[in-house]
Structure 1
Amino acid sequence: MLQQIIETPTPPQPRPVRLTVMQGQARVSGDPRVEFTTVLGSCIACCLFDPTSHVGGMNHFLLAEPKGGRGVDEHYGAYLMEVLINEMLAYGASRTAIRAHLYGGANMHSGMTRIGMANATFAVNFLERERVPLVRSSLGGVHARRVDFRPTRGQARFRLVDDSIAQQPTERPATTRGEVEFF
Structure 2
Amino acid sequence: MQHLTSESIRDRVNVIQGTNFVTADPKIVLTTVLGSCVACCLFDPHAKVGGMNHFLLAQPREGMRSDNTEAERYGLFAMELLVNEMLKAGATRSTLRAHLYGGANMHAGMQAIGTSNARFAEDFLARDRIPLAHRDLGGTQARRVEFRAAMGQARCRLVEAEVPVEVRRPAVVHDQGEVELF
Classify the TM-score, shorter chain. Answer: 0.7 to 0.9
Judging changes above 3 Å, is the alpha-carbon distance between structure 1 residues 107 and 83 closer, same or farther for their aligned structure 2 residues? same
**Stretches of structure 1 lacking an aligned partner (at least 5 in a row):** 1-12, 171-183
Partner Cα separation in structure 1 for residue 123 and residue 139 of structure 2: 19
Find the counterpart in structure 1 of residue 156 from structure 2: 158
SS at match of 2:90: coil
The one-letter code sitting in structure 2 at the alignment partner of 1:25 is T
1:85 correspondence with 2:83: yes
TM-score (norm 2): 0.82
Deviations 1:91-117 (A, max 9, x none): 000010000000000000001000000
Separation in 2 of the partners of 1:161 and 1:28?
25
In our comparison, the structure showing a higher alpha carbon Rg is 1
Match of residue 103 from structure 2: 105
Q: Which residue of 2 aligns with 1:181?
A: none
Which residue, out of 167, 171, 179, partners 2:163? Answer: 167
Task: After TM superposition, list the pairs within 5 Å mapping 1:10-159 onto structure 2.
Answer: 14-67=8-61, 68=63, 70-71=65-66, 73-159=71-157
Range with greater deviation from structure 2 (13-22 or 32-41):
13-22
The amino acid of 2:153's aligned partner reads Q
Q: CA deviation at 1:16?
A: 2.5
TM-score for the superposition, normalised by structure 1:
0.82
Cα distance in 2 for partners of 1:144, 1:51 equals 28
Q: Which residue of 2 aligns with 1:7?
A: none
Q: CA RMSD in A?
A: 1.5
Structure 2 letter corresponding to 1:36: L
Q: Secondary structure at the residue paired with 2:122?
A: helix
CA drift of 1:167 comes to 2.2
**Structure 1 residues 167 and 71 mapped into 2: Cα distance closer, same or farther (>3 Å)?**
closer
> By percentage of residues, which structure has more strand?
2
Q: Aligned with 1:121: secondary structure?
A: helix
Aligned residues of 2:9 and 2:29 also touching (Cα < 8 A): no
Q: SS of the counterpart of 1:156?
A: strand
